[in-house]
Amino acid sequence: MDNLFRSLDTDRANVVWKWKLLEELRQSGLRGDDPRVERALGNALAAGGAFEPGQPEWLDREQFAEVTREPVVRRALQGDLVVPRTEFQEFSRAVEEIYADLLPDRSGEVAQYIPTLKNAPPDRFGIAVCTADGQTFQIGDAGAGFSIQSTSKPFSYAMALEQFGAGEVHTWVGQEQSGGTFNDPTLSLDAAGKPQNPMINAGAIATLALVEPDVEVSERFARVEQTWARLMGRPPGFDHRTFLAERDTGHGNRGLANLMAARDMLRMDPKDRDAPQKAAEFYFAVCSMQVDAAGLAAAGATLANGGVAPYSGERVFSQETAGRVLSVMGHSGMYNDSGKFSDQVGLPAKSGVSGNVMMVLPDKRMAVVTFSPRLDEAGNSVRGVEVCRQLVEKFGLHPYKSLGAGRELSSAAEASRRALGGMPAASSRSAGVASSARPQVPAAAGPHRPAGRER
């Protein structure tokens, strides 16, 4: 750590300014409010006593060593994060450009069938990026809360898989594209009454019926909230108005639950005649959890990282579970435009009618989430789909469209393909983010040696 300390001690005062350290981490994608950074800095600074009011904070060698005991801080300063510093900056700049390009777009309409969504501010727009290491970039309304809606479905499916395993789960819910809308009463269920897949409403009701089925519903919901807190590094909120609106208008979903129950395709107490309605209302409650684009990006990064959460390093889901979830998202995650999205983007994604889209980049171990309430005819965010399409096109991230590209690539296309570890022409795609030279921590001119601190 001595070399790192010297590189950041730009005025040779034998200290490192806190602001300088935070700027170095920010350049690598780590925010100052990252809980790991906050904890490491807080512990180190507390060991040195109080500063005089208004005095810039700084770290001596011992305190700097304490901060760098936090693995993500040390790896960031060494240029060892999952997405190298220069590549993360390039990706962030591209997100900024796409955001600016799409900001004037007012096409599409907000969801009309849930009153709280119908009355939502239609022109909000935010984008958040999160990697497996917790590198983040946010722009626009990335911190604005919204009800998660259908983007809860991949994670409900994951919870059911973790508890019962794929064999049992898929006796209750299938794995095939339904060919219809997410709430189609005729195409949602197969001939046996089984939901076609976990990404449609009937399938989500069925998978949620497998989440902690033997405890009271309040405890079941608490377990779901706890899982989301582990994914995001903070607990979700709850949109009470949306829950009440969905409960009052969700007759079709209750009908689906009744149809499944009538065919013994809903795990429930057969003696409880209200069980189908309770199953539907549990689904409404989970859809009404409130998140923001930044938190949802962390949940998506957990899937991209094989089930390990970015901020805690905790394994929330098994690798097998994460893989199964991404597989189903890949063919059924974008409502009845899933095939079109797969052709244009080729990456697993899930959307919700509140206007969110979560796209997972497994090879890059990162996720991109957009929030923009105006929807297309399929129920997907207009801007959200376009963000995904433009990013994939700009960085050559479609897993199939560049196969065999070879020598005919122009130099511009080749440069784009190499960005973010893209597969170079006439070579194989790396299993992860391509390696690059570790950036040197720049030595910028700094302020004068700090005054002493009060002890």
Helix (H) or strand (E) holding 18, with range, is helix 18-28
The structure tokens 């590189």 sit at: 7
User: With the C-alpha atoms ordered 368, 32, 143, 107, is the resulting torsion angle positive or negative?
Assistant: negative
Hey, what are 63's tokens? Answer: 């305190």
Query: Taking the chain, what is the end-to-end CA distance rounded to the nearest angstrom?
Result: 26
**Which H or E element spans position 302?**
helix 293-304
Q: Using alpha carbons, select from 65, 7, 233 the residue that is nearest to residue 136.
A: 233
CA dihedral of 258, 261, 266, 271, whole degrees rounded to 10: 120
SS3 content of the chain, % helix, strand, coil (to 5): 45, 10, 45
Distance from the Cα of residue 376 to its chain's centroid: 22
The response to whether 318 counts as a known ligand-binding position is no
Work out the angle at residue 60's Cα, subtended by the Cα atoms of residues 54 and 63, and round it to the nearest 5 degrees. Answer: 100
Contact (Cβ atoms closer than 8 angstroms) between residue 378 and residue 150? no
Concatenating the DSSP letter of every residue in 252-286 gives: HHHHHHHHHHHTT-S-S-TT-TTHHHHHHHHHHHH
Q: Distance between CA atoms of 348 and 38, rounded to whole angstroms?
A: 32
The answer to whether the annotation marks 201 as part of a ligand binding site is yes
99 annotated among ligand-binding-site residues? no
Tally Cβ neighbours within 10 Å of residue 50.
11
- Report whether 150 belongs to an annotated binding site: yes
Residues in Cβ contact with 341 at an 8 Å cutoff, skipping those fewer than 6 apart: 333, 334, 349, 380, 385, 388
Distance of CA 265 to the CA centre of its chain: 31
8 A C-beta contact, residue 84 and residue 78: no
Question: Is 253 annotated as belonging to a binding site?
Answer: yes
How far, in Å, CA of 85 to CA of 347, rounded? 24
Q: Strand, coil or helix: what is 200?
A: coil
Tell me if 283 is assigned to a ligand binding site: yes
CB 54 within 8 A of CB 1: no
Q: Residue 307 CB: number of other CB atoms within 10 A?
A: 21
The answer to the question of whether 246 is labelled as a binding residue is: yes
Residues placed in the known binding site for substrate: 150, 201, 246, 253, 283, 335, 353
Residues placed in the known binding site: 150, 201, 246, 253, 283, 335, 353
